[in-house]
Structure 1
Amino acid sequence: RLVAHEGSATSEAKPPETPMPTDRHAQRQGRPMRRMHVEKIFSHLHLVVDRVMNSTRKCEDDEELFEDLCYKRCFLLTNGQFPVRVAPGACWRKTTNSSEAGLSEVSMQSGNCSGYQVGGSRPCPHAPLPSECDENEEMYYGFCYMQCKLLTRGDYSIRKGTNVCCEQEPCMNISRLRVSGVGCSGFGVGGALSEGNKCAHMPERRPLRVVSA
């Protein structure tokens, strides 16, 4: 039987102590985690912005959606005679006596960006377009704010936050930033060109129509 005497090794072995990290070591270990956390936040924000913009995508009033593209409405293209689109280049009369489109009930004018294969004000069919901010506004993470250059008379023209405008890049230099107000005040206002747009808001204005030459 082994007995531990004073000054001799004990009968029970202790695990080695884990060295405590220095402050500098802890900072180095924490940087990748902070970077990953920030990247995750921004990735989530971009997903939110995409969802906001996708919720505003639609065809224009003179267009109809067919197979994920916007075409000029068959009703308008045929003066109401063949109002139902059945193909990119074909419109159907839709008689009440038959559920199948016979040759006499279908009008066909197909061609690349011609005939019935056209957009409303655009020459070609196109994907549904998202809404836009008003002329005096700028978009920041899916919402429309009055332009920083208008709010600051051009002195701080770069928006870097809901209530933050920047003088010039790089805007990580806080001496180049200017903060004004909280929420719907200061730099956090909308353009107010229409009722309800005094505060930041989702884009509502439809894209400008393309005027043919």
Structure 2
Amino acid sequence: DLHATQEKTGMYKHDWTAPKESDISGFDPRSINSINALTGGKGHAPAFSTNPLAPPEDLWDGNRCADDEELLGKLCYKKCSLLTDGKAPIRLSAFSCGKSRGFADFFSAKVVTLVPCEGYDISGDEAGNGCPHKAGTCLVNEEFSLGKCYKRCEDLTVGQYPHRTSADTCCKTKNFLECIDPSNSHFSFGFNVGGGKGAESKSHSPNTKYTELGH
């Protein structure tokens, strides 16, 4: 019967032991503000913007740049850990990455080129791997150009001129010299717009509210 089954399977055994008073003394349940705190974890639960056009950036990671970027001075660069496959994860300058910030590693740092906006002196993938930029990021339907966020040329021209070369010009190719040819580029004041609403309907600086809460 049911009673015999419960006895046989040990359902009546008291395997649980109440915690000692010393284990919970001084504990304030109000200090638990997340599952992570409850379980003793050291990380954090990711938080994301409610704007449907905002990129999926972790807003609690202490990083004011995009998730694949790092801040040096006042500019965001693609993370050295990504650029070097983890071999030189510490950014030492705009052009160099190293294993640490130690004296010896500083002089043995990896440098690809000293040409601005190339090598390690670039922004992250989301920003198009162009020149480093101010802290923050653009909306998902925008692109960086000369440090500002613009609505993507690909959307504005229905794919015919997908590459932005200036605030008012979109081009068929990434090659700047080829874009000088009028047949390859299209100029319009209507291209100088943002992809959002309100203030973000105009071209604008990258916004840190999409990369980190409190900034």
For Structure 1 versus Structure 2, the TM-score category normalised by the shorter chain is 0.3 to 0.5
TM-score (structure 2 length as normaliser) = 0.38
Greater radius of gyration (CA): 1
